[in-house]
Structures are given as C-alpha cells and as structure tokens.
Chains A and B, each alone.
Chain A
C-alpha cells in the first residue's frame, strides 16, 4: 500500500497543509520543532486512528481550535484508490469516514491500512514497564486480527465497571457478591479470549523475530519471547476462576481495583536465556527492537496481504554502523518508508533501489509560516 497524499487541518502546529509523497523512500527533513514528527504522527492517525506519541486526542488539536482533521489518499497493492478521513472534535468525538461514504468504528478501521512505526519512544518496548509491551502487542494484533480491538475495548469497559463495584465495596459490601458475579463471568469470558489470542500472537512473533535477530547478530544471540499471562492456565473454566476470585476478593477491595486479567499480562524478551530488560546492553536492546519491527512488518504483510507503510522517526541522528548495516539488509523489502532527518542528505550508504527514488519533504518555519494564518489576538 502506498500513501499518495495527505491533507492536514488544525493538527498540532499545522493549520492547513497538503503533502504529496513518493512511492518508496520519503525523507522529511528540516530543523527540530518544525513538524517533522508531527507529519509522521498525522500519518499514523490515518492508519491507527491514534497517534504513536499521545493517547490524548485533544493533544493533537491545534491551539485555540475545536477539531482536527486528516485526510489520507492511499493506493492499495491491488491498485485501488482508497480515502480515509479522520476528524476529531472536542465536543462530538471522533469520526472515521472511509472512501468518502461509509462512517466506520475504530475497531472496523484499524488494519485496513497497516502501518509499522519505529520512534525513539519504542526503546521502551524492551526497556520500559509491562504496559509498553502490552501496548506494542495491542497495536500489532489490532491490525492483524479484525475483532481484537473490539474485544479489547469491551474488556476495558468491563474492567472499569468491575473496578467501580470494587471501589464501592470499600464503603459498603451490601449485596456485593450478587452484584459482582455477572461482571466476573463476562470478565472471564473476554479475558480468556484476549489471553488466547495474545498467546497465539506471541508465538507467531517469536517465530518471525528470532531468526531475524540471529541474522542481525550473525548467530551470536538467540531470542525467545515468552508470554506470561495473568490468567493462569489452570483456570480453564469459569468455576475455577470464580473460586480464585472469591478467595482474593478482600485484597481486590482493599486495593479498589481488579488484580487479575490481561491488563496485568507481561511479555518477556530473553536473549540467550537471560532477561533482556534487566541484563541487556544498549546494543542488545536495539537489535532486539529492530528484529521486532521487521517481524511486525512481515507479519502484517503476510496477515493482511497488503504492504504496510513504515514510519521511522528521528533515529537517524544516532545511526551507527550496526544499524546502517541492518537497515541496508532489511530496507529493501519495505514498500514505502517515511523517515525524519535533520539534513536533506542522509549520511549513510544504502545501496538498494529504495535509495534511488527519494522524495524530499522540506519542513521549516518559512514553509509552515506560509500556511499560517496571520492572527494577533
């Protein structure tokens, strides 16, 4: 799939801008603070309905405005032109309009235009807290699996409802067991389903990423990705789960929150049998992340039958010889790539055809200012 052009309105520093893109490598260059990352962010919003930089959609609205709007024109691998418009309004929320005619939900949309993002923030996937790994899995799995996002949204809803009951129980336990029981049942049903899908996904991810890491390190490192679900395997029926919850209900009431479920899942990355997060070197973290991202790309490509777009934010400032070689080895298989860079000329040597057709997008104050409305309050 190719992103051909993008219209942006009231999105962070952009007032109203239009961009055209090249079919292979797009280099977005200019000094910092001129909207390079924001352009990539707007692209990710058209694919994921969410930014890779913030969970708060209101953060994306330009200062003093009430809404933002992004319109992307894609051409899929079959050659069909597709359009998606995402509009977020402070008061009425988000609206996704596909092909100018059909209003769809986020759960329906995500995965239609697959995307892989690699930003400095992604270091947290291997280094940060468990929620960063769950988020990584959620983003890939939501794109791969048509019903996963809806399932996840429903889970979050049930979790909030259940937590509300637990918090209320701190005041009064009157009728508590009767009240919480049906929520437990739904919680188990959805939680089990999410756990199963994550387990299958992590297994597939491992199969894809391990050989890549092995190649990257010329066989020196072997990767194992291990899913550690909060739901124990022995809870194979609701009765068993329910009995366990009953035993731990007091603890949950004291904490005022649900202590068991997919929102507590962990994923471990083991390098040569040693936990990467605790013992890994910076280089090991980076090669692992790169292997994950290439694996993500390949899984989406195979799973969707559509080549994802690849967004590479600001990693070039710190490119080293290792990554240069890695990019050289793997970039050839990517279809359309967007990278941000300080300079126009990227300071590394990539031989394949991706480098032959570079489309440059210059971002600077003048460029932005020309699109700015002159307005003094």
Chain B
C-alpha cells in the first residue's frame, strides 16, 4: 500500500506485529488512534513505556511484578504451604480471576520440549525444588493439558515427591491443546477442584 503518511504506515506495521492482529485490524486500530485526543494517545504511549520499564519478574515465584517480591508472595493471608505451578505469568491472572485459590504460585517459564531445546535446566525447576524444601505441603501442577504439559507434570512429581510434598495435577477438564488463558472460568474452576494425585 502506498500511504501518504510514512509515520502512519510505520504505526500500522508495528501494530501488525502484535499477536492476533492482522494487517486489516492494524489499520483499523491506527485510524482509531489517530482520531483520539492528543492526551489519550499520550496516556497509551506512556503506559506502554512504563510497563516495560517498571515490570520485572518476582525473585521468588517469577510472576510479573513492579515490587519484589510480588504482592502475592508478600500477602501473609495466603496459604504458604501450597504452591500452584504454572507455565507462564499470564496463567496466574486466569487463576486469580476465579478468586478461589489462596495459595502461592511458581512460574516455570515454559514446559519441557526437547524438540525446541527446552530441558529441565531451562525452566525454573531448581528454584521450585528449593521452595519445596521449605515447609511446602502441596504442589498443584497447572501446566496446560498438552503432551508437554503432562510430561512436565510427571517430571516434577518424580522430583518433588521424595521431598515429602503432595503433588497433584489439575484435572483434564480442559480441552486438549488449549492455553489456560483461553479456558473459560467454570472449566478452570472445575479442573482445579478435580485435581488428582500424580502417580
């Protein structure tokens, strides 16, 4: 396309890089933004820069946070003897939205996948083992219900059980191949409730 405005063209190209945004959506968003008041657009631009500057990972659970440790890890009201292991920080959002889970989290940063060169040492597994040595009673593994998610759960169960930790896996009520992020709340809630002990 030959646009008379190179800066508009640049914005469209940047927006089109976002996941789930095609060229057409990027155009729509760009024209929408152009129509907004100056202040609104500046707020958005600042928010983008701030989130990148201020957000870091929690040194305890690897959640995304501004303060370290993260608010969940700092919350004394939460059950500190239960850990929920998730793949990515955005999975915490999905579970927190339910408002049912009162324990702490641990973000692995992915799942085991030899095809992609992801071995145990590439995930935050060593840190999880360390945490489990300190008064943790139950670990709930909430990796996605894929082959890789299951195998990661099996691997962790084998590793953690000798430490005297009860290891459970959320039930497979979640459709195969779906990310936790996209699973509806009822399904996720049932899955959490129906977790089973890993053999």
Q: Which residues of chain A have a CB within 8 Å of any CB of chain B?
A: 105, 107, 150, 154, 157-158, 160-162, 164-165, 168, 175, 178-179, 181-183, 185-186, 190
B114 touches A182 (CB 8 A): no
A105 touches B177 (CB 8 A): yes
Bound CA span A354–B112, Å: 56
A179 and B120 contact, Cβ closer than 8 Å, known pairs A154-B176, A161-B114, A164-B114? yes
| Closest A residue, CB atoms, query B157 | A182
Distance in Å: Cβ of A274 to nearest Cβ of chain B: 41
- Is B113 among interface residues, defined by CB-CB distance under 8 A? yes
Determine the interface band of chain B, counting residues with CB < 8 A from chain A.
10 to 19
Distance in Å: Cβ of A110 to nearest Cβ of chain B: 14
Known contacts A162-B114, A182-B155; 8 additional CB pairs below 8 A are: A154-B146, A157-B146, A158-B147, A161-B147, A179-B119, A181-B155, A182-B151, A185-B154
A186 touches B114 (CB 8 A): no
Bound CA span A175–B120, Å: 10
| Closest A residue, CB atoms, query B120 | A179
A164 touches B115 (CB 8 A): yes
Distance in Å: Cβ of B102 to nearest Cβ of chain A: 29
Query: What A residues does B78 contact at CB under 8 A?
Result: none
17 A-B residue pairings within 8 Å (CB atoms): A157-B146, A157-B147, A157-B148, A161-B115, A161-B147, A161-B151, A165-B114, A168-B114, A175-B119, A178-B120, A179-B119, A181-B155, A182-B154, A182-B158, A183-B114, A185-B151, A190-B147
A181 touches B158 (CB 8 A): yes
With contacts defined as CB atoms under 8 Å apart, how many contacts are there between chain A and chain B in the complex? 46
Query: What B residues does A164 contact at CB under 8 A?
Result: 114-115
- Is B150 among interface residues, defined by CB-CB distance under 8 A? yes
The secondary-structure label for the interface of chain A is helix
Bound CA span A172–B168, Å: 33
Most buried by A among B148, B151, B152, B177: B151
A186 and B150 contact, Cβ closer than 8 Å, known pairs A105-B177, A164-B114, A164-B115? yes
**B window 109-160: CB within 8 A of A:** 112-115, 119-120, 146-148, 150-152, 154-155, 158
Bound CA span A165–B148, Å: 13
Bound CA span A181–B151, Å: 9
A186 touches B176 (CB 8 A): no
A186 in complex: contacting residue of B115, B119, B151, CB < 8 Å: B151
| Closest A residue, CB atoms, query B153 | A182
B114 touches A179 (CB 8 A): yes
Query: What A residues does B177 contact at CB under 8 A?
Result: 105, 150
Bound CA span A178–B154, Å: 11
| Closest B residue, CB atoms, query A164 | B114
Distance in Å: Cβ of B124 to nearest Cβ of chain A: 17
Bound CA span A165–B113, Å: 9
| Closest B residue, CB atoms, query A189 | B150
Distance in Å: Cβ of B120 to nearest Cβ of chain A: 7
| Closest B residue, CB atoms, query A165 | B114
Bound CA span A105–B158, Å: 33
Bound CA span A175–B114, Å: 13
| Closest A residue, CB atoms, query B119 | A179
| Closest B residue, CB atoms, query A159 | B147
**B window 161-181: CB within 8 A of A:** 176-177
| Closest A residue, CB atoms, query B156 | A182
Query: What A residues does B113 contact at CB under 8 A?
Result: 161
B154 touches A150 (CB 8 A): no
- How does the 8 Å CB contact mask read for B81-99 relative to A, with 1 for contact and 0 for none? 0000000000000000000
Bound CA span A346–B146, Å: 51
Distance in Å: Cβ of B25 to nearest Cβ of chain A: 13
Distance in Å: Cβ of B149 to nearest Cβ of chain A: 10
Distance in Å: Cβ of B129 to nearest Cβ of chain A: 13
Bound CA span A183–B115, Å: 12
| Closest A residue, CB atoms, query B176 | A150
Query: What B residues does A161 contact at CB under 8 A?
Result: 113-115, 147-148, 151
A154 in complex: contacting residue of B112, B115, B147, B158, CB < 8 Å: B147
Query: What B residues does A182 contact at CB under 8 A?
Result: 112, 151-152, 154-155, 158
- How does the 8 Å CB contact mask read for B29-73 relative to A, with 1 for contact and 0 for none? 000000000000000000000000000000000000000000000
Query: What A residues does B154 contact at CB under 8 A?
Result: 182, 185-186
Distance in Å: Cβ of A91 to nearest Cβ of chain B: 10
Bound CA span A160–B113, Å: 10
Distance in Å: Cβ of A149 to nearest Cβ of chain B: 11
Query: What B residues does A160 contact at CB under 8 A?
Result: 115
